[in-house]
Amino acid sequence: MVDESQNIELTEDDLENDSKGQLIKKAGQLRDRRNELNQMASERASKRDELNAKTREKVDEAQEHREKRDELNEQVQEHKESRNELNAKANELFDKVDQLKSDMELDEGKDLEQLESEIEELEFKQQTEVLSSDEEKELIEKIEAKREEYEDRKGKLEQNDDLEELVEEAEEVRSEASKHHQKVTELADQAQEHHNQMIEAYREADDIRDEADEMHEKFVEAQEAADRHHEDFVRVQKRLRELDKEEEQERKSARDKKKEEAKEEAEEIYQKFKEGETLDTEDLMKLQKTGLL
């Protein structure tokens, strides 16, 4: 803020009643304070402009993040569309797989892995437990039955090339869809990061703009004070010129009066000269000065 205690005050009474010397001193004070305030205003204007430049930089930075975010979001949308299309295609393929399995009666019963696990459990029981002859015979029959079921299902699967190819194609399509889903996640994270950076840049721009606005107010304050001092300085200068004119007029009046008195005296001397009186040197010089001789 401007230190108002350093300001120079000028009243109408000062202008009308102060002496010329006092006014000259006041003019110097007003000029010096005006220059000081103008310098202060200039510094504040420079600081304000610097802050405004930083504000623009932050806004530009925010815009760059906005553009990058929007670009990434477009890519996210593209990958989403590709993922959804591939998932739809994979679902269709898996539906066909299920239909083929149903046609081959493979949709009911246990899958190969489950059968293989059950066979291993039965074999482990045969090897580790003490069984009666009947129990062991019954266990062996179960194992053989499981093996036959296993081989039967395995054979049906191996004999159907279309099913294997369809499963492979469906899994490949699903895998490709997963890749697009992964890209969706990665790009969405990047877009969110640019969004966060955009918000932060805008927040910083607002903070700096507030500083710039505050500095502009300080600039205006200093500039207005400088202008006021300049106006008062001009008023004092005008008053000094008026005083100079008054003094000149007084001097001119004094000269005119003195000249008139000298003329009157010379006319008296000239009249004496015409009447035959003798003139001394001083009288003759007075006549010469007035042009009467």
Structure tokens given for 49:
């402009």
Residue whose pair of structure tokens reads 């600039």 in the numeric block: 219
**C-alpha closest to that of 222 among 27, 21, 17, 33:** 33
**C-alpha closest to that of 202 among 100, 93, 56, 90:** 56
Residue whose pair of structure tokens reads 């000149």 in the numeric block: 248
Residues 6+ apart with CB under 8 A from 156: 104, 106
Least confident range from 41-50, 248-257, 264-273: namely 264-273
pTM for the structure as a whole:
0.60
Instruction: Tell me the per-residue pLDDT of 158-213, one tens digit each, with 9 for 90 and over.
Output: 666 677 788 889 999 999 999 999 999 999 999 999 999 999 999 999 999 999 99
Pairwise pLDDT comparison (99 vs 206), residue with the higher score:
206
- pLDDT in the model for residue 226: 96
DSSP track, the chain: ---GGG-----HHHHHHS-HHHHHHHHHHHHHHHHHHHHHHHHHHHHHHHHHHHHHHHHHHHHHHHHHHHHHHHHHHHHHHHHHHHHHHHHHHHHHHHHHHHHTT-SSS--HHHHHHHHHHHHHHHHHS---HHHHHHHHHHHHHHHHHHHHHHHHHHH-HHHHHHHHHHHHHHHHHHHHHHHHHHHHHHHHHHHHHHHHHHHHHHHHHHHHHHHHHHHHHHHHHHHHHHHHHHHHHHHHHHHHHHHHHHHHHHHHHHHHHHHHHHHHHHHHHHTT----HHHHHHHHHHT--
**C-alpha closest to that of 91 among 170, 28, 194:** 170
CB 134 within 8 A of CB 128: no
pLDDT band at 62 (very low <50, low <70, confident <90, very high): very high
Q: Tell me the C-alpha distance between 30 and 233, whole Å.
A: 6
Instruction: Tell me the per-residue pLDDT of 201-233, one tens digit each, with 9 for 90 and over.
Output: 999 999 999 999 999 999 999 999 999 999 999
CB 87 within 8 A of CB 100: no
**C-alpha closest to that of 93 among 167, 40, 2, 6:** 167
CB 160 within 8 A of CB 104: yes
Instruction: Tell me the per-residue pLDDT of 263-293, one tens digit each, with 9 for 90 and over.
Output: 777 677 777 767 767 766 777 676 677 665 6
Q: Tell me the C-alpha distance between 49 and 208, whole Å.
A: 11
Cα 191 to Cα 81, 245, 271: the distances in Å are 17, 78, 116
Residue 49 has pLDDT above 90, yes or no: yes
